[in-house]
Structure 1
Amino acid sequence: MSDALESARELIAAARERYRQDEAALAELDELNARLQQPLRVALVGSVKAGKSTLLNGLLGERLAPTDSRESTRVVTWYHYGKTPTVRARLTDGRTVSIPAKRQPDRHELDLQGLAPEDCDRLDVTWPAPGIQGITLIDTPGISSISQEISDETNRFLLPQQGAAGADAVVYLLRALHESDIRYLQALDARTRHGSASIGSIGVLSRADELGSGRLTAMLSINQAVERLRNHPDLQGVCETIVPLAGLMGMGAMTLRQSDFAVLRDLASLTPADTDRLMVSAELFITAKGDALPAERTRVELVDRFGMYGIRIAIAVIRGGINDASDLAAEMLRRSGLDELRRVIDVHFRQRQDELKAHSIVHALHRLLRQKPVPGAEELLVMADEHMSQTHTFIEMQLLGHIAGGQIQLGSALVAELERLVGGHGASVQTRLGFDADFLDQEIILASAVEHLTRWRGLLENPLLDRVTRQACRVAVRSCENIIVSLKTGKVSLAPVKSPA
């Protein structure tokens, strides 16, 4: 068990002694203690129609989460990794019932079997999806819904009046930056913040292709929008980074078949003038007549699975020389942003999951000690404060957001080194220092850490550094110092680094 989790466990054990006469407090402490052993909880949050379910399906690798307005979208739904597919509803009266996941031609469909959403506390879906190994993904009902009752479900889960927030990290989906999004992110940050540490948070500019009306030039509009969001003053400190995503294209790429490639290749064989006329709109693409065109039903399915942007991208890259279904899928997946989002989730969440879980638990314990003071609570509050003051990994993630936003005024080589050093390419000591994952010579690694420390301390002596860049150099120095201490004290083992699932 990591230092962060062990510290949290010791605090809970000490709190149990103080609350041994309070059954309600003991039950809350038992729940917090159990949560330390559970996978990291990552919630997908956003307004109605922000694209949460499409993103979730992309992360799962198949169409399982409902993408329409059916009843199950109004219930908080937990997705766990497991070899045997099961779906269970936990009812508000304490019962648990199994519900079917009906197999449709191109998706699974969750059916509440007549259960009213208000009778369900949550749905638990266990599925053999490799993308969620080691974490639990939680799909929440849309906030800013027409129905306040639906929005309240998400608020009760993430912002409870008592106990821990329901998630350790959040992926917040934005279609644009509305005042309601800013308020919600700020409320979530305020509810979970202690010093420099808060809930893990990534923003996703979902349905990014719509910014350019699905045109091939949409990426220019997307990059400009992401740049504005990354540097928006109201998001500084409450959102670690922003990632653009064309979720429908990403999901389609993951399920692309050889038959899909054949149809897209036929479309690419048309003259550019013909495809330009055909691709003016989805309606025209579907209803256009011509012997050389796929059947109308096939075109409907293409739009449903890939979107117009995905179809345009597929035609363009096939014309550029791709002639294999697997190569096309890989290129579409890359361009969709889904691969990059997975990488960001791995860096920001998976690789620091111990710190995120421990923060959630100790923050909830801190709240309990303040709400229910007992003899000895003050001592535990001091210990909890000390635990939550160890926030360097949180500061590193905030710095990665500044790097992505282009706010660090150093040369490109130094910025690249800084990103690597603070964990932007992986959390292992070897990766941070630029070694291969299987390099195990501790003496050479230690010497490299000292060399990095000397270089970044030297950069701090430059009087012309702006405030943000100077702080970035301080973070790099602290990261180097932590690496050196961990190597010298044996707190880190130079075992070969495993790639994420």
Structure 2
Amino acid sequence: MPPGPGPLTAAVVDLAAIAERSYDPRLAEVGRRCLDRLRIPLSIALVGRVSTGKSTLLNALLGRKMAPTDGRECTQIVYVFRYDPHTTATLVSRAGSERTTVDLDDRSRLPADFDLPASEISYIDVTMPLPLLEEVTLLDTPGLASAETQNSAATERMLHDTEESAARADALLFCVNGPIREDEAAAVRAFSGSRGAKRLSGATAIGILTRADQVAQDPLSSWTAATGLARDMAARNTELFSTVVPVVGLLAETAETGALREPHARALGELARAWSPDVAHDALASPMMFREEGGPVEGPVRTELLDLLGQFGVGRMLDRIRSGTRPDVVSLTREAAAASGLAAMRTQIRRSLGSRSDVLKASGALEELMESAYDAGDRSLYDAAQSMLDRPEMFPLKVIGMGRQLATGEVKPPAGLVEQAWITVQTGLPRTTKAEASRAAAEWKRWAELTDSAGQRLARVMVRAWQLAAESKSGEGPP
């Protein structure tokens, strides 16, 4: 069963229950939505420009080809994947949120088409008995932009649905194919003006370089280039991502879903025996050259290998076979999983997001409740939320809020201080001595005298963060 709410989340549940009983219908709806949100595991939305490999990555995480990836209308819909002992799918319409059971195929996969057009579907609710979904709820979003349908109604709807899903998530996996420029930058700018942008910050988002096998012109050297690019992107975009992780989405999907079959393994073994490393390198320069290079294995099977592994994956499997890996399904699937980078990505997600699940969930819900209480003129609820935020145990929520201030540019500390603030948001300050903490806190106090009220609030958070860093060093607990 999914774990119960953490202590911070449990405290916000009480506040959401009060909002649910409000006479103001909008505030009551927000209360109901927050209660639903707080009662499920950490909610993570996969966001990014259209065709950045979001659904392929999601299938790899699920270990099953559930999310559509074929570019048809079914990819223009939001999918919610959550835990349940039974595998089910339910279509939720936009009109009155009517729910209709979706028939899965004989492999328990989603159909490519639904009874309603995408414009009339709010989302598809999918439940599965997976250990991963006991820890997180995953949202697969349509995408942020499309060059082919730039101003179409479908694009506007997809953008709206993506933004709303992100706004209701606790954290984001922001999928990109390369450096944040051109189409990627346009998508980020469009997203930055939406409600969902509150989750696109170094506090609550991880960048995923989903096609690490396509970063370099030479597919076989792409992984090395991708790891360097990911480090550079993380350093240049601290306001957007806590980190950037490279992954070969196609290779991960093939490995985790068990798509590799014995004929594919045999074909790879034959090619490894027939081709020298130099011949293989030249053949893998392009899909056409790979299909046409002389040697064993018919063209259709070579095409299947590219569809399953890509040029990088085929090259890596040939290298591993030459190094002694047996050319069988089990061995090559294990090698594909290792080469995909998915394990490192999972570790990073757990470290950056999963370990802070309680804080992220409580922060997102409390923020929404405070905004709605303010808009509804419910001063009592607003003051109760503010009072809750001021409790010592709620300090981690203030750190998340500081991340949003930094990401939006509301507060711009000077060089030296801004780096400290981002470290606090993303990993927490390292343990330190009281003397060092006092020195650092004094810097923040001096800057606070020169800045506005928003900067002063952020400075107070940093002063407290340094105090806690010193207390943890000495073994003292928070007061």
CA contact (8 A) 1:197 1:391 kept: no
CA contact (8 A) 1:168 1:199 kept: no
From the superposition, tell whether residues 479 and 422 of structure 1 become closer, same or farther in structure 2 (CA, over 3 Å): farther
- Among candidates 318, 329, 341, match of residue 345 of structure 2: 341
Paired position in structure 2 for 1:50 = 52
Deviations 1:158-204 (A, max 9, x none): 545xx9922111111111313214424644688537xx998620111
Deviations 1:360-398 (A, max 9, x none): 111111111121113525523532553675347649999
1:396-407 counterparts in 2 under 5 A? none
Paired position in structure 2 for 1:415 = none
1:26 Cα deviation (Å)? 2.2
**Match for 2:35: what amino acid?**
N
- Among candidates 365, 368, 371, match of residue 367 of structure 1: 371
1:35-184 counterparts in 2 under 5 A? 35-93=37-95, 94-103=97-106, 108-145=109-146, 146=149, 148-157=152-161, 159-160=163-164, 165-176=167-178, 177=180, 178-184=184-190
1:488 Cα deviation (Å)? 8.9
From the superposition, tell whether residues 476 and 185 of structure 1 become closer, same or farther in structure 2 (CA, over 3 Å): farther
Instruction: Tell me whether 1:221 sits opposite 2:225 in the alignment.
Output: yes
Q: Please state whether the residue corresponding to 1:285 is helix, strand or coil.
A: helix
1:206 Cα deviation (Å)? 1.7
**Match for 2:91: what amino acid?**
A
TM-score by length of 1: 0.74
Gap regions ≥5 residues in structure 2: 405-415, 417-422, 448-460
From the superposition, tell whether residues 185 and 338 of structure 1 become closer, same or farther in structure 2 (CA, over 3 Å): farther
CA contact (8 A) 2:176 2:210 kept: yes
**Match for 2:215: what amino acid?**
L
Paired position in structure 1 for 2:267 = 263
From the superposition, tell whether residues 34 and 472 of structure 1 become closer, same or farther in structure 2 (CA, over 3 Å): closer
1:56 Cα deviation (Å)? 0.8
- Among candidates 7, 12, 15, match of residue 11 of structure 1: 15
Distance (whole Å) between structure 2 residues aligned to residue 211 and residue 352 of structure 1: 31
The share of aligned pairs that are identical, in percent, is 24
1:168-317 counterparts in 2 under 5 A? 168-176=170-178, 177=180, 178-184=184-190, 186-187=192-193, 191-192=197-198, 200-213=204-217, 215-232=219-236, 235-254=237-256, 255=258, 256-269=260-273, 270-290=275-295, 293-317=296-320
From the superposition, tell whether residues 480 and 108 of structure 1 become closer, same or farther in structure 2 (CA, over 3 Å): farther
Distance (whole Å) between structure 2 residues aligned to residue 335 and residue 259 of structure 1: 21
Q: Please state whether the residue corresponding to 1:339 is helix, strand or coil.
A: helix
Query: Considering only aligned residues, what root-mean-square deviation do their CA atoms show, in Å?
Result: 4.1
**Match for 2:357: what amino acid?**
Q
Distance (whole Å) between structure 1 residues aligned to residue 319 and residue 467 of structure 2: 46
CA contact (8 A) 1:36 1:357 kept: yes
Paired position in structure 2 for 1:481 = 471
**Match for 2:374: what amino acid?**
R
CA contact (8 A) 1:251 1:306 kept: no
Distance (whole Å) between structure 2 residues aligned to residue 460 and residue 322 of structure 1: 56
1:73 Cα deviation (Å)? 0.6
From the superposition, tell whether residues 197 and 337 of structure 1 become closer, same or farther in structure 2 (CA, over 3 Å): closer
Deviations 1:86-138 (A, max 9, x none): 2211112232112233358xx94523344211111111122344433321111
1:253 Cα deviation (Å)? 2.4
- Among candidates 31, 34, 37, match of residue 36 of structure 2: 34
Q: Please state whether the residue corresponding to 1:48 is helix, strand or coil.
A: coil
TM-score by length of 2: 0.77
CA contact (8 A) 1:90 1:120 kept: yes
1:61 Cα deviation (Å)? 1.1
Q: Please state whether the residue corresponding to 1:49 is helix, strand or coil.
A: coil
Q: Please state whether the residue corresponding to 1:390 is helix, strand or coil.
A: helix
CA contact (8 A) 2:269 2:318 kept: yes
CA contact (8 A) 2:83 2:127 kept: yes
**Match for 1:247: what amino acid?**
G
CA contact (8 A) 1:352 1:393 kept: no
CA contact (8 A) 1:192 1:199 kept: no
Q: Please state whether the residue corresponding to 1:110 is helix, strand or coil.
A: coil
1:318 Cα deviation (Å)? 1.8
Distance (whole Å) between structure 2 residues aligned to residue 484 and residue 35 of structure 1: 37
Gap regions ≥5 residues in structure 1: 399-408, 410-418, 434-451, 490-501
Distance (whole Å) between structure 2 residues aligned to residue 164 and residue 14 of structure 1: 25
Deviations 1:5-45 (A, max 9, x none): 1321233345457x3x3344223312212321112211111
Distance (whole Å) between structure 2 residues aligned to residue 287 and residue 152 of structure 1: 43
Distance (whole Å) between structure 1 residues aligned to residue 195 and residue 28 of structure 2: 27
1:483 Cα deviation (Å)? 8.8
